[in-house]
Structure 1
Amino acid sequence: METPLSRKLKNFVPLTTADRDMLAEVLEPSRLIEPRADIVEEGEDPRGVNVVMSGWACRYRQFEDGRRQIISILLPGDCCDPHIYLLDRRDHAIGALTPVAIARIPGTAMVELKSRNPSLDLAFHREELACAAIQREWTVSLGRRSGVERLAHLFCELHARLAAVGLADGTNCPMPLTQPDLADALGQTTVHINRTLQDVRAAGLLSLKGRRLTLLDPEGLRRLAKFDPSYLHLRSARDAARGLEAIRP
């Protein structure tokens, strides 16, 4: 059975029908979360792995005075930390940016699944390493990219990640992030985000209408962002198969 999770993981390791069925079996029924509501709160005991089945969510930290930093964007198929159940408490919150359907894999079920299935164990490890690489690239953006480069890079990344799970249509993809969301993710004010959006639109690089992003000049946007998608580690099926064979006994 195909699920958003299996569509995501097959970017890292080829999955058989049996693999996909095993994934579907350990997923508990989805629950619906309203937009702008917390899925899990900071400090909770993380007894299982949450998986985004539909909609957009984010990891974030928030100060008592209301200032928020979005740490990462979670898209359909994304795990909210595949090994979080090994910790005693969650050190960040996860919130819904849109209506979200969230499913859960109990920690005990995840341990058993990975012990029984080396392919899925490898897929989850590769997915977690790819998430760490994305986090490093976000650090680079916040530390060294200009405001317009940060915005362009985020749009390039989100389009590539959506395309990897079949949610982009050519140069078009959903883009439900508000200007305050973008400001919280990119460490800028909403005023700065507004001006930056006007700049990239005026340059003919992209269009944002009706919560849809269109890359009008994909190569130009990538050059502006200095975007190299290799950090996403979205391997071809052939390359992933070779990697799996290399570690099998």
Structure 2
Amino acid sequence: MPLSTSDRSLAEPVIRRLNVLRPMSAEARQSLEYALLEALQRTRSGEDLISEGDAVDSVRLVLSGWLCRYKTLEDGRRQIVNFIFPGESCDAHAFLMPAIDHSIATMTPVVYAEIKRAHVESLVANHRSLAEAFLCETLVNAAIQREWAINLGRRVALERVAHLFCEIIERLRPVGMVDGNSCVMPITQTDLADATGLSVVHLNRTLQELRASGLIVLRERTLTINDLGALKNAALFSPSYLQLYRRG
């Protein structure tokens, strides 16, 4: 049965993102669309989708909503080590390992597809472009983790927060979730603090500094970057590690 326009719009974030990372054949896109729509799941905000130590036997691809990867110390302190946005995967190749080494939590209500390992292996065996797109997704995630390590280890507070905002905008843009230089910002200051390694008080002061400089507006769960070039300069940000712009 042909997919309807409404069906395609639901799957579009995943198709658009993977197709930017590695252009897929029409057959690969159609096969992936069917797989996504046959495996839809929904979950509420504030739930662990995967817990550290779980065995993973599927690939979860996010169609809508925000999630985070995190680790928790024995005394309860949490470090968010990455966000997961629409179009991205939670665990493209995690089923190759005996257990996952971190937890993934929903930060908003989330719609995702949970495609079982056997189905994924069949898809990538039949569609080389899709196999390469999934591999690119894993490589980009590794590049993002390196950039986050630099953020925590070398950038000062204003640079950390500015860099994170630039990254969020650039990761959401290819899936059509940026209007100009504005996007939804559905997460709390506590979440931002846990992602940047700052206290909530320090994070709040940094946001005030960015606002006062005229670089951003953060209001009613919406982030607007008034001057993206200036914010990138303040953050020492280059989007090349995201691999979201085709060359040539």
- Interval containing the TM-score (normalised by the shorter chain): over 0.9
| Match 2:24 to one of 1, 8, 15 | 15
Q: Give the C-alpha shift of residue 204 in structure 1.
A: 0.2
Q: Give the C-alpha shift of residue 12 in structure 1.
A: 1.3
CA distance in 1, matches of 2:29, 2:244: 18
| Match 1:36 to one of 30, 46, 67 | 46
The equivalent residue for 2:193 is 183
| Match 1:105 to one of 115, 118, 123 | 115
Letter in 1 for 2:180: G
1:95-140, Cα deviation, whole Å (9 max, x unpaired)? 0011111211111111111111111111111111111111100001
Letter in 2 for 1:151: V
Q: Answer yes or no: is the 8 Å Cα contact 2:57–2:117 preserved in 1.
A: yes
Q: Give the C-alpha shift of residue 16 in structure 1.
A: 3.4
1:1-249 mapped onto 2 (5 Å cutoff): 2=8, 3=11, 4-27=13-36, 28-236=38-246, 239=248
Instruction: Give structure 1 stretches of 5+ with no counterpart.
Output: 240-249
CA distance in 1, matches of 2:165, 2:154: 17
Q: Answer yes or no: is the 8 Å Cα contact 2:39–2:115 preserved in 1.
A: no
Determine helix, strand or coil for the equivalent of 1:11.
Answer: helix
Determine helix, strand or coil for the equivalent of 1:185.
Answer: helix
Q: Answer yes or no: is the 8 Å Cα contact 2:41–2:114 preserved in 1.
A: no
Q: Give the C-alpha shift of residue 15 in structure 1.
A: 2.5
Q: Give the C-alpha shift of residue 91 in structure 1.
A: 1.1
CA distance in 2, matches of 1:170, 1:148: 23
CA RMSD of aligned residues (A): 1.3
Letter in 2 for 1:120: L
Determine helix, strand or coil for the equivalent of 1:36.
Answer: coil
Q: Answer yes or no: is the 8 Å Cα contact 2:184–2:222 preserved in 1.
A: yes
TM-score, normalisation: structure 1: 0.92
Instruction: Give structure 2 stretches of 5+ with no counterpart.
Output: none
Determine helix, strand or coil for the equivalent of 1:167.
Answer: coil
Determine helix, strand or coil for the equivalent of 2:17.
Answer: helix
CA distance in 2, matches of 1:191, 1:30: 39
- Runs of 4 or more, structure 1, over 6 Å off, are none
Letter in 2 for 1:211: R
1:162-204, Cα deviation, whole Å (9 max, x unpaired)? 0011100111111112100011111110000000000000000
CA distance in 2, matches of 1:136, 1:37: 27
Q: Give the C-alpha shift of residue 51 in structure 1.
A: 1.1
CA distance in 2, matches of 1:45, 1:193: 35
TM-score, normalisation: structure 2: 0.92
Determine helix, strand or coil for the equivalent of 1:213.
Answer: strand
